[in-house]
Amino acid sequence: MNWITNYVRPKIRSLMAKQDVPENLWEKCPSCSQMIFHRELEANHQVCANCGHHMRIGAKKRLELLFDEGRFKLEKLPDTPADPLKFRDRERYTDRLKRARASSGAQDAIQVAEGTIGGQMAVVAAFDFGFMGGSMGIAVGNGLVRAAELAVERDAAFIAVPSSGGARMQEGVLSLMQLPRTVIAVQMVKDAGLPFIALLTDPTTGGVSASFAMLGDIQISEPGAVIGFAGARVIEETIRETLPSGFQRAEYLLEHGMLDMVVARKDLHETLSRVLKLLREPAPAGDVVNLPSAKAPAAKAEPEKAKAPSEKGKASGGAGNGGNAKSQGTRAGAPGAGNGDAHGGASGAGNDKAETAGVPANPGKAAAQKAQAEREHGK
Ligand SMILES: [Zn+2]
């Protein structure tokens, strides 16, 4: 009865073992070596309470963190050929894939979901580093392309959250083809006038950093994330020089202009909500007059925004301070608040508001021109 001892009994044992107490109740922080209780770590979104080290998290957890109230709808990704090159190193690629699928419960290293962030529609494509190092093969490329298409279909912002070692070696050149594919996918979103935000997490390296991950309209990163193309050791060996401390870390990249923001994990949802609101619902430069081309959101924002310039006009007009008004005018570049102030007085403000309203096609530009004119006038 070999099959009982060899097959049935281990199967039963493995079923029983699953209900046991998990072995790793405590986890060691890789940065400060502090032992952290797993519940505490869970409550803190896998961030060390002692040193603030951001540990890697899976794709599902990431999506829960980013979307409003952790609610989202997963997108079904297209099927892909499992092992196009019949690749085999120490073991078969198909075996590796099977193992990764069994342990992660996902089909590949990416999950795409749609939902709202701060009330704004968004499509998020999150990588799972646990799945073969988050490497980008055909399936991941397909996932990103599908996510971009979905963003365009839904008129939503596209947020990519890479956590990847780069291209998937087992898919060879097919994996390298995903670099231009993902770049084109991102361009599709941008062509549709929708924002693309890259939220880089530890690690964003290799082919991923060499493609879509560096093309965000806004580049955000988590603290301490490793971001780069080649590894620091490889670079050191090649150029035979010691690299500066903190090289390829998020903070270093921020300092050197490669990132716009480094945001702690607990603040990500709030930050993304704010950024998306700024990008999707920009404040009008002045009163908005109804034009056939005027979009719905701008019209909605009209009643509250219309008050602001007139109040400001009164304030600075009362003071009669030309210098002050000038500086306000220059600052007004983007939101265009208080354009009319330089001319002082409430009536001037009123006229100018009407003027800006006449060119709503590019209110930011109009405000900038006005500011320019005022500067020259001030001289
Ligand atoms: Zn720590």
Domain assignments of the chain as residue spans, ordered by start: 24-55, 57-280, 296-378
Band of residue 179 on the pLDDT scale cut at 50, 70, 90? very high
Cα 37 to ligand 1 centre (Å): 12
**pLDDT of 121 higher than 90:** yes
Cα 249 to ligand 1 centre (Å): 17
Please state, for a pLDDT cut of 90, what percent of the chain lies above it: 66
Cα 172 to ligand 1 centre (Å): 37
What is the Cα Rg of the chain in Å? Answer: 26
165 or 295, higher pLDDT:
165
- State how far Cα 93 lies from the chain centre: 31
Q: What is the CATH number of domain 57-280?
A: 3.90.226.10
Cα 274 to ligand 1 centre (Å): 29
Cα 41 to ligand 1 centre (Å): 11
Beta strand 120-127 with 110-117 is antiparallel
Cα 29 to ligand 1 centre (Å): 5
Cα 108 to ligand 1 centre (Å): 30
Cross-sheet strand order for the sheet of 218-221: 73-74, 110-117, 120-127, 157-161, 196-200, 218-221, 261-262
Cα 286 to ligand 1 centre (Å): 49
| Alpha helix segments (H runs only) across the chain | 2-3, 9-17, 38-43, 59-66, 93-104, 138-154, 172-176, 178-191, 206-209, 232-239, 250-255, 268-280, 296-319, 322-331, 346-358, 363-378
Place of tokens 């690299």: 243
Cα 290 to ligand 1 centre (Å): 56
What's the Cα-to-Cα distance from 140 to each of 168, 225, 257, rounded to whole Å?
Answer: 10, 21, 28
Average confidence (pLDDT) over 291-314: 52
Q: Are 341 and 329 in contact (CB under 8 A)?
A: yes
74 sits in which H/E element: strand 73-74
Structure tokens at 353: 């508001």
Which range, 84-93, 216-225, 365-374, is most confident?
216-225
**pLDDT of 57 higher than 50:** yes
Place of tokens 């083809």: 177
Cα 266 to ligand 1 centre (Å): 16
Cα 36 to ligand 1 centre (Å): 8
- DSSP designation for 72: -
Cα 48 to ligand 1 centre (Å): 5
Cα 124 to ligand 1 centre (Å): 28
Question: Mean of the per-residue pLDDT values for the chain?
Answer: 82
Cα 45 to ligand 1 centre (Å): 13
The upper half-sphere exposure of residue 119, i.e. CA atoms within 13 Å in the direction of its Cβ, equals: 6
Q: Are 209 and 163 in contact (CB under 8 A)?
A: no
Cα 227 to ligand 1 centre (Å): 20
